[in-house]
Structures are given as C-alpha cells and as structure tokens.
Amino acid sequence: MSLLKSSTKLAGEGTSQVNNVTKCIASSYSDKQGTTPNSLDTWILDSGATYHVCDSLSFFTAYREVHAIPVKLPNGNIVTTNIVGDINITSQITLKNVLYMPHFSFNLISVSRVSQDLGCVFAFTDTLCFIQNSMQKMIGSGRMINGLYYLEGTQSQVEIQTGKQCNSLAIPKTALWHFRLGHTSHKRLELLQKLYQNIEVNKVDFCCDICHLAKQRKLSYELSNSRASSCLELLHMDIWGPFSTPTPHGHKYFLKIVDDFSRFTWIILLKGKFETTSKIQNFILFSEEHFGHKVRYLRRDNGPEFLSLSKFYISKGILHQTSYVNTPQQNGRVERKHQCILNIARALMTQSHLPPRYWGYAVLHSVFIVNRVPSNAIKGQIPFTVLHNKLPDLSQLKVFGSLCYVSTQDNHMSKFDHRAKKCVYLGIKPGMKGYVALDLHNHEIIVSRNVIFEETIFCILIIHQNLWEYMVPPNDIHSSHIAPNTTTNDQETTNNPSTRQNNFPIEPFSHPEPSHTTSPSNHDQPSNSPTDCNQSHDSIPPTPTHSPEPSPTIPLRKSTRTSKLPSHLLDYHCNSMTHTTPYPISHFVSHDNLSPSYSTFCLSLLTDKEPESYAEASKHECWTKSMQTELNALANNNTWVIVDLPEGVKPIGSKWVYKIKRKADDTIDRYKARLVAKGYN
Ligand SMILES: [Zn+2]
C-alpha cells in the first residue's frame, strides 16, 4: 500500500523529507500548474511515507515558513516547499509538521509519523483500517478503495456528504485518450494517431495504476492462422455468466458474438439463458439484412441453449460447429476476445468507482472500444473499418465514468430550476449518438445528446451502510474550459428498462443515421424505475453549493454553516459524519461484522415491533387495517352467530395476536392480526 517509495534522502536542512514518489495513481495525479486545477482533499493512509503531505493551505490550522525542502514528483521534476504546519484532520487526530505541497493532488498521512506522535496503533484488514489510541479507543478508521486506504470521517468528507463541498479524482489531460480508449496500449494509440490527427499520445511515460490493477495477461492458446474469407461467413458465439450481481435491469449473462473475418464483436446482455435462442435468431436475421452477407458457419460451445436452434440453422443453411468439451482452445478466438473485453471492462469499473451492478455498461462500452482500436489478430486493422469499410467516428468517445452534466430541457421548468443534472458518463447510445448517463441524485439512467463533459474528473465513491454516494466537484471548477459537445435539443429519459435494453446494447442495431428530432421527447414521463436504484429511499441528496476555494495566501477560513445529514441517511447510524456526541454508540455497538443480509434483518427488528396489546396496535394504521381485514374475514365466513347468553354459562374472552410476516429478504410482507379465543379459562 505504499504510495511513496523510499529513496535517497535529498539534502535539506534536516526538517523533513518526502520520499521519492516513483509511482502514483495516474487518476489522482494532476499538475496544478497545468490545466487541471482540481484538488483532492481525501487523505490516503500511507505506511511508506515518512512525512504527511497536504496540497491545500486551507486545511492548515497553523503553518510556518522553513528553508526550502526539495521533493521529487512522479514526473521526475523536483519541486520545493517552504511551508510546514499542523492540520486538525478529524476531531481526534491532529497531524503535526505536514508539508504543504501544492503540486500534489492528494494528501498523505504518514502512518509511522501518526503512530509516533499520537502513540496509536493501526490495524489493517482487507477492506478497512482502524486507528486506536494508547487507551485502545478507536480514534479513526479508513476504507480501502482500489488498493489504497482512505481515512474516513475527515472534516472535508463530512462537508461533502452534506453537500457543502465536493471532491473528486482527476486524471492528467495528457492521458485523456488512454482513458477514453479503455486503457489501450501505447502502441495502439500510436497506430490510431496516424489515422486521427486529434488523438494525442502522451509523451510522458506515466504509470497507470488502473492498467496494472485491471489487466490480465493474455491467454496462451495457440493462435490459429485460418481466417474466414468474408464478413459474417463464420461467427463465434459464447455465453458468459451468471454474474453474482445482476445489472439494474436484471441482466446476469451476456452473449458474445465475434465475426471471424473482421473480429467485430457484439455483446447482448441476457437476463437468463432462456433468452439465447430468440436473440441469436434476431441477430442473424438482422445482420444478414443489414450487412448484406450470409452467415455460413457458426462456432460455439456445447451449451444446450444453442442446440435448440438446429431447425433454424437448417432453414438458413448454416452449418454449426461445436468445440470439444474441456478444450476451450477450439473456441480460442472467443476466449481471447473475452479476456480483452473483460480487461477493459475491469479498467473502466476501476477508474469509475461505480458499484458492481453497473458492469453491463462497462462491458458494452469496452466492446464499443475494442471494435474501434487496431487488432493484432487482423494485422493491426480496425474491426469496425473491416466490417463497415470506413473509419469509426471517435469524436464522441469520452472517458467512461467521468463526470458530466446533462442538460434538462423541460417545458415545465421554472426560471430558477437547475438547468443540468450531475451525472456519470456510462457510454454512447449507438444509433442516435446519444450519451448514456447515470443521474447522481436519483440513480436513474438518462440518455441525452445534450451533455457537457468533465472528462478529467472522476467522482469518488463513498459507501455507508451499503448506500453509495458520489463526491462531486463544485460547480465552479472547470466549467470554463470545456465547450458543450452537442447543441441539439434532444433528450429522453429511459425509465422503461425494456426500452433501454432494446435501444442500447446491440451494435448491429446501432448504426443508422441519428434521428435529429427536436422535441424534448418523453422527458416528463413519471419516473418509475425502482430497479434502477435499488435504494430504500427516494429522497434527493442536497445539491452541493457553490463554495469558492480560498486563496492560498489567506489563512484557513472555517465555514460557519451547520452541517446537516441528507434526509435519506437519517435512518442510519453514520458515525463518520457527525461528531456531536463524545461517545457515539457506533464506537461500541457495530454491525460491521455481520453479513449485509443479517445486518438488514437486525436493523429491521429494531425498527418494526409487534404490538402486545390492542391499545398499542390501535395507534397504528397498519394494524387497524389488518384487524379490520380479520374481522371482515370472520364475518364473511359466518364464524359466529350472535345469541343471548344462556343461563349459568360463563363466556370466555378473546384476544388479538399480532405478527409481522416477512419475505425471504427480510422485508415486510404484511401485518397479520388474528382474533383468538382465550380457551384456557
Ligand atoms: Zn491505464
């Protein structure tokens, strides 16, 4: 986890040295003297750093000037700092002798230095880090994101969660095309540069952490030299899945189709294998019609879902070939393509910090990229070019997972409504050349042509109690230097998952000329996509407010605003977000070691209580309703007949019994009230 590697100490005046930064996350490094002014105020816990580093003077509670201290940057440049100071990073941790390094775009906490200064202990697990003081009391915690431990509960995070201030990761502008093209190799970028003048290949050999984290070595399957002689002559097909996390639209599998001649690849997301036969038939019918070539051979594995298509193959004159069991080399082309697509998809997921359920968009976007970069298997040609006989248009390619603003053109808007939504870019909607974006406020998927991109910025995912949120940079950053990419007034929200499914994923259905409709389309349809957000809340987090960065020369100005939790978090214990009580219960009682489902169950037990008496139940509408239902049922079944009490008979009483019935996932199915006779007296 060492972000800073040790190196030769540089001559200084003995105050402090920062180790040689030989490796840093490309996505979090930016040269502030350049065009990427965005700064990180997240704190990385680094066991390899010998000193704390902070990139913004606004965090310092006190600082002083010292003799210049030289520090080596990732790009090899040596910069100096002459400011050292103290920072109250949380209510319980104060960092001493922090180096002010405006050229860094992240902040480092030296684990060894905090241990020395505060006499505390760090414990690291695979996902978390705990900091305890000498009395074994927890004074802080960290969470691992992409291999780095980030301190939780810092002042800035509290502000971010409450919308006061925002944050992000930035990528160097010189690496933009590397990120746009799904972390494609330098060699491929250079090939593309010969074809596209606007593609920049970064000269600086930066170290991209995402490439290392996401990419897997190539498979060693034998390369076969044989190749089909024309497009669509031979198609390779395979199904992948099930993936443990379904997409927001319930997809668990994908069908991959590779054209042997062009190596063009199509991905079709599937909810289950039962969809395979109809999707293959539709694909073959459409592509023969669209490309004017006939499918002659189909090569695929032995899955039973392919076998049921025998009649269809015969009627089309298609010869289908199977690969032998346990010899995937037979299907080596599909396998290799699969590794390639998953490598890119993994990189896209890593750089975007998206929750796993958005894997479908990453896979579709990686195929979009794979089809548009040179392929070794066809001697450096581009699959798209071989299939379509023209160069692909890369002008709309954007960095997957980057921040974007989708314009809200709505007739029903008032003058002071926001004119854009903060979103995360999820890919291109082929055909209409629309952009697919995830609305950060309500987690809806939007397709729009009217989008402004902040491609160098990724939002940071913060997870609390299985809820996730993005930290987004403030409105005022960057807006000046990115021009709007599209000016058409065409936007739609795709609330209907089936519509989205049909519109988005399949390439062959994606290349008709864009329809330049000008109506705002179905934008004002009511939102009804519960599957999109999977959230137990429907409130909208507060919009981050405009907070200009203080000038570096002015000492710290603390905000006087009182922080307030977003309403959707009021039901949760958010220990890192509030510091109002000296002994928050979350420090002593924790659900952290429980599985998510068991934790949900325990929490639901705390909130839903079965009443013990009629008096208690009658105060709640859910119980009065269920009692009425029970009375109606008794009446309908003629359970009783009202008679005069015979002499000498002692009547027995009755009693209400209340039960909450739960579904398998612990959510409430119904409230059940039963009227029972007290048979025991
Ligand atoms: Zn990379």
- The CATH number covering residue 297 comes to 3.30.420.10
Check pLDDT > 60 for residue 53: yes
Centre of ligand 1 to C-alpha 593, Å, is 34
Check pLDDT > 90 for residue 302: no
**Burial environment of residue 520 by CB neighbours within 10 A (0 to 12, 13 to 18, 19 or more):** middle
Centre of ligand 1 to C-alpha 554, Å, is 37
- Among the three residues 170, 186, 205, which one is the final residue of a domain in this structure? 170
Centre of ligand 1 to C-alpha 183, Å, is 4
Centre of ligand 1 to C-alpha 347, Å, is 7
Segment 316-338 shows an average pLDDT of 69
Domain count of the chain?
4
- Per-residue model confidence (pLDDT) at position 588: 64
Residue 204 lies in a domain: no
Centre of ligand 1 to C-alpha 257, Å, is 26
Q: Which residue range forms the structural domain that includes residue 673?
A: 607-677
Centre of ligand 1 to C-alpha 380, Å, is 20
- Among the three residues 170, 204, 233, which one is the final residue of a domain in this structure? 170
Residue 574 lies in a domain: no
Could you tell me the pLDDT band of residue 321, with boundaries at 50, 70 and 90?
confident
Centre of ligand 1 to C-alpha 185, Å, is 8
Say how far apart CA 672 and CA 626 lie, in whole Å: 6
- What are the phi and psi torsion angles at 45 (to 5°)? -80, 115
- Per-residue model confidence (pLDDT) at position 284: 93
Residue 578 lies in a domain: no
* Nearest partner of 158 among 562, 452, 543, judged by Cα: 562
**Average pLDDT in the chain:** 70
Higher pLDDT pick, 119 / 584: 119
Segment 173-178 shows an average pLDDT of 81
Together in a domain, 309 and 406: no
Centre of ligand 1 to C-alpha 140, Å, is 32
Together in a domain, 377 and 462: no
Segment 194-200 shows an average pLDDT of 86
Residue 287 lies in a domain: yes
Q: Which of 107-121, 274-288, 440-454, 541-555 has the lowest mean pLDDT?
A: 541-555
Share of the chain above pLDDT 70, in %: 62
* Nearest partner of 303 among 267, 253, 341, judged by Cα: 253
Share of the chain above pLDDT 90, in %: 14
Together in a domain, 220 and 354: yes
Together in a domain, 140 and 33: yes
Together in a domain, 383 and 418: no
Confirm if 150 and 455 have CB atoms less than 8 A apart: no
Centre of ligand 1 to C-alpha 346, Å, is 11
Task: Tell me the pLDDT tens digit for each residue of 548-600.
Answer: 333 333 334 444 444 454 555 444 444 443 344 556 565 666 666 777 777 76
Centre of ligand 1 to C-alpha 351, Å, is 9
Confirm if 392 and 385 have CB atoms less than 8 A apart: yes
Centre of ligand 1 to C-alpha 55, Å, is 24
Together in a domain, 64 and 156: yes
Together in a domain, 230 and 297: yes
Residue 415 lies in a domain: yes
Together in a domain, 247 and 371: yes
Centre of ligand 1 to C-alpha 433, Å, is 26
Together in a domain, 165 and 52: yes
Centre of ligand 1 to C-alpha 490, Å, is 33
With the CA atoms of 227, 232, 235 and 237 taken in that order, what torsion angle do they form, in degrees rounded to the nearest 10? 140
Together in a domain, 348 and 460: no
Residue 182 lies in a domain: no
Together in a domain, 356 and 231: yes
Centre of ligand 1 to C-alpha 459, Å, is 17
- Among the three residues 501, 533, 565, which one is the final residue of a domain in this structure? 533
Centre of ligand 1 to C-alpha 180, Å, is 10
Residue 546 lies in a domain: no
Centre of ligand 1 to C-alpha 344, Å, is 9
Segment 73-101 shows an average pLDDT of 80
Centre of ligand 1 to C-alpha 57, Å, is 31
* Nearest partner of 627 among 569, 659, 679, 675, judged by Cα: 675
- Per-residue model confidence (pLDDT) at position 596: 74
Check pLDDT > 60 for residue 387: yes
Together in a domain, 384 and 447: no
Residue 464 lies in a domain: yes
Centre of ligand 1 to C-alpha 203, Å, is 14
Centre of ligand 1 to C-alpha 184, Å, is 7
Say how far apart CA 226 and CA 244 lie, in whole Å: 36
Centre of ligand 1 to C-alpha 439, Å, is 26
**How would you classify the pairing of strands 62-72 and 43-46?**
unpaired
Centre of ligand 1 to C-alpha 550, Å, is 33
Centre of ligand 1 to C-alpha 179, Å, is 6
Segment 8-33 shows an average pLDDT of 32
Most confident of 215-224, 225-234, 479-488, 619-628: 619-628
